């Protein structure tokens, strides 16, 4: 049980690293999928607040910033896991 928290932090950091990589390097795929899903969704979903945000020209930059943030959180989790493993 001593290693449960660091292992969990490492697993979450790996997942966030993958998520950040997708947001940074597969941005156009994510944007195209979101736009396609929006166009084929029911009208009541298309009328949700902020749901048309995916059509804004700044949306890919927003996703890339999210990817950088995910990588920063992953790095912090890895540092926390390393500190817990050393003590």
Rounded to the nearest integer, the mean pLDDT of the chain is: 94
Which tokens belong to 22?
Answer: 């997708």
Q: Is the pLDDT of residue 34 over 90?
A: yes
Q: Is 41 left (phi over 0), alpha (psi -120 to 50) or beta?
A: beta
Question: pTM for the complete prediction?
Answer: 0.85
**Alpha carbon separation from 56 to 20, 43, 51, 64, 86 (Å, rounded):** 21, 19, 10, 14, 46
Question: What is the rounded distance in angstroms from the CA atom of residue 70 to the CA atom of residue 26?
Answer: 14
């Amino acid at each position: 049980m001593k290693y449960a928290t660091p292992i969990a932090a490492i697993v979450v950091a790996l997942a966030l690293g993958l998520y950040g990589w997708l947001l940074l390097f597969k941005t156009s795929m994510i944007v195209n999928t979101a736009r396609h899903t929006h166009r084929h969704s029911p009208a009541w979903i298309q009328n949700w607040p902020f749901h048309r945000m995916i059509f804004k020209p700044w949306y890919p930059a927003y996703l890339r910033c999210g990817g950088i943030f995910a990588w920063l959180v992953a790095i912090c989790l890895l540092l926390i896991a390393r500190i817990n493993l050393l003590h």
